[in-house]
Structure 1
Amino acid sequence: MNRKIALTFAIASVAAASAFAETPMVDTHPFKSAMTREQVQAELQQHRTSGVDTFADGYNQLTGFRSTLTRAEVKAAFMASRDEVSALNGEDSGSRFLAHRDMPRTYGPQLASLPIVGE
């Protein structure tokens, strides 16, 4: 009985140890800011004194938004993509749709072997 408990404990500890064995995703590229610290601090101070509370319930993010498309253009784009969106949100997550669409070929035909030159 003690062997079974010891074996179970050993397997569980090996399984738990392997769960933490992966390396975390870390961006190794150094960050290069386009602004100096003083510019950022000045911009933050300007925002604080403007009186706009971005955390308020009544804050409207789209107050200054202006579309570059007309209503007819937006409706036409929706109608053109409606079948694709419906297929991608379907029961199979769009795998049938993606498997049957025509993909552009970016490479030439693949041959089993290269032809012999000179014959």
Structure 2
Amino acid sequence: MNRRFAAAHASRSSAFAAAILMSAMAGSAIAESPSLDSTPYAGARTRAEVKAEVMAHRSELSAAGSEYRLQSQAQPFAGTRSRAEVQAETLSQPAALSSAANEWTLQANAPQERMSTITRAQATAAYIASRDQVRAMNSEDSGSSYFAQMPRQTGTTLFASNQDQR
């Protein structure tokens, strides 16, 4: 009888605690309002004066209008050297040309030359040899049954130590 009473009491207590927590969390969140400055502001100009000034400078306020006006006032580029002079200077420095070309190939995501010490056949043979282990490690239990079936290594003893080994 005492066990039933204890179980019922524990069940009621946890239900009561859950009800209290749910009612506490069900309340609405109220953010703190910003502090309001209650001093009245009186501008130096009237609304009509400000509107008249804005309308007078309307073309300057438009980003597109300002950009167009700046571009139309810009002077076209006029170089001081001829095309032949620039080409001659560029071709007279082959080291600069090759370093720029190398820099470009590094940045262009060109396929890199593969340097491997094993052949394709060796890689395929290694994969086939470890296929069972790969399948076991990718299984549902992440390889725990595979490791349980493996023979245990009893020849090596490991000791934990708090001393630094140098």
What TM-score comes out, normalization by structure 1 length?
Answer: 0.41
**Which structure has the greater CA radius of gyration?**
2
Higher RCO, 1 or 2 (CA under 8 Å, sep at least 6)?
Answer: 1
Q: Which has the higher helix share?
A: 2
What TM-score comes out, normalization by structure 2 length?
Answer: 0.31
